[in-house]
Chain A
Amino acid sequence: MHETMVAQNLLAAISREAAKHNAKPVAARISCGTLYAVNDELLRFAFEAIARDTPCEGVRLEIEHKRVQGRCRSCNETFDVELSDPRCRACAAEDFELLPDPPLVLEQIELRTE
């Protein structure tokens, strides 16, 4: 359950940004690559547990999964890789370069402004 460490780092990042604006965070949107294998339920569970009694308590997480991309060595197309059937979406060739997985990113936070 590596979601625990992701949750700890996420909590720190949200707290830092919210503190800059001196406001209470209410929601956060994050994105992550497929190969990070982040499970939404586990991440929310871990985040809720460590956010208790902190300014991040009750923060709603929106998690966007970004598919890892491949570049076809036959037709040069860049495409979303379906891990259960890895092949070029355009020409169906199986020879492709797997591109780096999109990183875990805190995209946006929503603050309560009094």
Chain B
Amino acid sequence: MSKIDIGRRILSENEKYALDNGRLLSEGGKLCLNMISSPGSGKTTILVRTITELKEKIGIGVIEGDIQTDIDAERIRATEAPVVQINTEGGCHLNAAQVAGALKGLPMDKLDLIMIENVGNLVCPSAFELGENGKVVVLSVAEGDDKPAKYPAIFAKSKVLLINKIDLLTKGAAEDFDIERVKTDARRLNKEIRIFQISAKTGEGMSGWYDWLTEFVRNRQSQRA
């Protein structure tokens, strides 16, 4: 028997694609956010509302990741924003090679911002860099206020936390949802995380998120000017 020291990064292929994606985006002056959450937290509804209401200010393109179907892409298409659907055929997260392919299908010269909606899953997507400038984690109040404590990785790695479906806070099971607990737990791991309480259905609280997003894009553009 012989032992050989290797010291090789196991996900180097994904990392290489992620670097290439990041380079392609930054050379074109584009920003990219990777949205991660459990299934059903409202990622697509947030995107649809955001695209519709910021249409005049920011050119947004979308990469949709789902195990199967193009239901989400159809919803995005209805806003007239360009969208590419990736079906992972069972895969529980997107990888950077899939995103590299999808970026080729977007009309980049018309876009300021690419939003990637990852496969609904609070664990796996957080382990794979896609070449994004930041992660946005979405948590809906129906999921319970213990999620930052139970799934710390994604809250530790995200730039923004959107607490969605706040219109349900006065209803049924979500009445017990303690927003302060979520904010405290998320901030214990991540001092810089920006938190917005929103309802993508009613529009409540969305303006704070829009201001952040607009600023995020404007900062990038002024850096390049």
Contact = CB atoms under 8 A, between A and B. Distances in A.
Contact of A107 (B5, B11, B14, B125): B5
13 contacts: A2-B92, A5-B91, A5-B128, A9-B13, A21-B4, A36-B127, A83-B189, A103-B11, A104-B11, A105-B7, A106-B7, A106-B9, A110-B4
Contact of A106 (B8, B127, B152): B8
Contacts of A109: 3-4, 6
Contacts of A23: 2
Contacts of B8: 13, 17, 105-106
B197 interface: no
A13 B6 contact: yes
B189 A98 contact: yes
B77 interface: no
A110 B1 contact: yes
* The 9 residue pairs across chains A and B that have the minimum distance between CB atoms: A2-B124, A104-B10, A35-B153, A83-B152, A106-B8, A36-B127, A106-B6, A9-B10, A86-B188
A84 interface: yes
Contacts of B37: none
Interface of B: 1-14, 91-93, 95, 123-128, 149, 152-153, 156-157, 188-191
B92 A1 contact: yes
Contact of B189 (A36, A86, A106): A86
A30 interface: yes
A94 B10 contact: no
Nearest to B152: A83
Contact of A37 (B12, B95, B153, B190): B153
The main secondary structure of chain A at its interface with chain B is mixed
A80 to B, nearest CB: 14
Contact of A111 (B2, B93, B156, B188): B2
A112 interface: yes
Nearest to A109: B4
B123 A110 contact: no
B22 to A, nearest CB: 15
A94 B148 CA distance: 16
B10 A108 contact: no
B189 A26 contact: no
Given A2-B92, A35-B156, A111-B1, A9 B6 contact: no
A17 B6 CA distance: 8
B92 A107 contact: no
Nearest to B5: A108
Interface string A4-39: 111001100100010001010010001000111110
B7 A110 contact: no
Nearest to A16: B8
Contacts of B124: 1-2
Contacts of A38: 127
A14 to B, nearest CB: 9
Contact of A105 (B2, B4, B10, B126): B10
